[in-house]
Amino acid sequence: MAKTARTGREKIVGASGAADAETGSPAESGPETASDVTPGTALRSPAIVPTGTAEDGRLGNALRPRRFDEYVGQTAVVDSITVAVMAASQRGEALDHVLLHGPPGLGKTTIAHIIAREMESRLVHTSGPAMERPADVVGILSNLGERDVLFIDEIHRLSSAVEEYLYSAMEDFRVDFTTGQGAFAKTINLPLHPFTLIGSTTRVGMLSAPLRDRFGLVYHLDYYTEEQLTLVVQRSAKILDVQISDSGASEIARRSRGTPRIANRLLRRVRDFAQVRHDGVIDAEIGKNALLLEGVDHLGLDRLDRLYLETLARNYDGGPAGVNALAATLNEEQQTLEDVVEPYLLKIGFILRTTQGRRTTPEGAKHAGVVQALGTTLKSDPQQTRFL
């Protein structure tokens, strides 16, 4: 019976592909799993990566926690998701749809992988930009099995046409789409297996209200504390077979900007430094010297962060300055400044976003090393004196 249903689904998807051919756009056909991909093959269709493939052998994935009891930080989020996963598993149902949002590198993708493992389900991994046409989303949805997990990274970048297909899929587990043109056009109703959609985004405000409201579980991931990152570094060092002292792990954690992904990256750089210039054992002094060589200071700011602060404090007298002007002065993309540089500077209180533009705080100006010139400039302006 299940075989007949699957055959019917394949026929419907095939009909959709034929309709694409009639309209002049070639139907996309790609491998269903990562193991079917021939090395060097370029694919336009979204990549489908089930859990347990060779991808797990890569270094980045090797450092990812595989179960919730291995996950460090985000305690409230993990506790809530664990309860929901256990309840759904006991009832034999698909987990409610999950939306994870927050700054990059905090573990959104890791949580999606853990949910799939805890549910003992297959994970289908794609991204918003990869799903360009309705045929893309129909093809993926029609191949989802019972209680499978569909993970869409950067879900805020879905086109409106693709997004509308997700509405009925998430709510009623069906997709209605049209094949043919003119008098030959007909609407096909495609039933779907109950599945779980996990959306990940760094810009939750860009999601449309109809899509956002269809997620039953919505979580915000926040930056990690230094203590939590120290545990992350120690766990990763054990996996990488690196000897590291508590002070060395704390030194790396202090410079990791509250982000596990950065902590793991810095750990690998410090490991290289300790291996080449020392005996391979990482302590606080080795960690400090290695990261200074990489241009990362004691607060985790890199060269671009410090250049941003210095430019705003010196060239623009502490602000206000528009982000476009700063991007032009630094010869950087505006998107890079807004998504990479500014979030952490805002968190640690080094800059302010105002309606007039960006401003440095006294702490930010001091870190940039121009506090004397900035103080003189600001004190000459009563409006800006309050800013100090």
Q: What residues act catalytically?
A: 108-109, 153, 202, 261
**Measuring CA to CA, how many Å separate 354 from each of 143, 291, 346, 351, 360?**
48, 33, 12, 10, 11
- Strand 186-191 with 174-179, pairing: antiparallel
- Strand 217-220 with 98-101, pairing: parallel
- Distance between CA atoms of 215 and 197, rounded to whole angstroms? 8
- Answer for the pair 312, 342: CB distance below 8 angstroms, yes or no: no
With tokens 């034999």, the residue in question is 92
How many of the other CB atoms lie within 10 Å of CB of 382? 8
70 secondary structure, DSSP code:
G
Tell me the helices (H) and strands (E) count for the chain, helix number first.
18, 9
Give the start-end residues of each E strand in 128-173: 149-153
Segment (H or E) for 179: strand 174-179
Distant-in-sequence, close-in-space partners of 293: CB < 8 Å, separation ≥ 6? 273
- Distance between CA atoms of 13 and 6, rounded to whole angstroms? 11
| SS3 category, 32 | coil
Which structure tokens are listed for 64? 């990812």
Radius of gyration of the chain (CA): 25
Distant-in-sequence, close-in-space partners of 70: CB < 8 Å, separation ≥ 6? 235
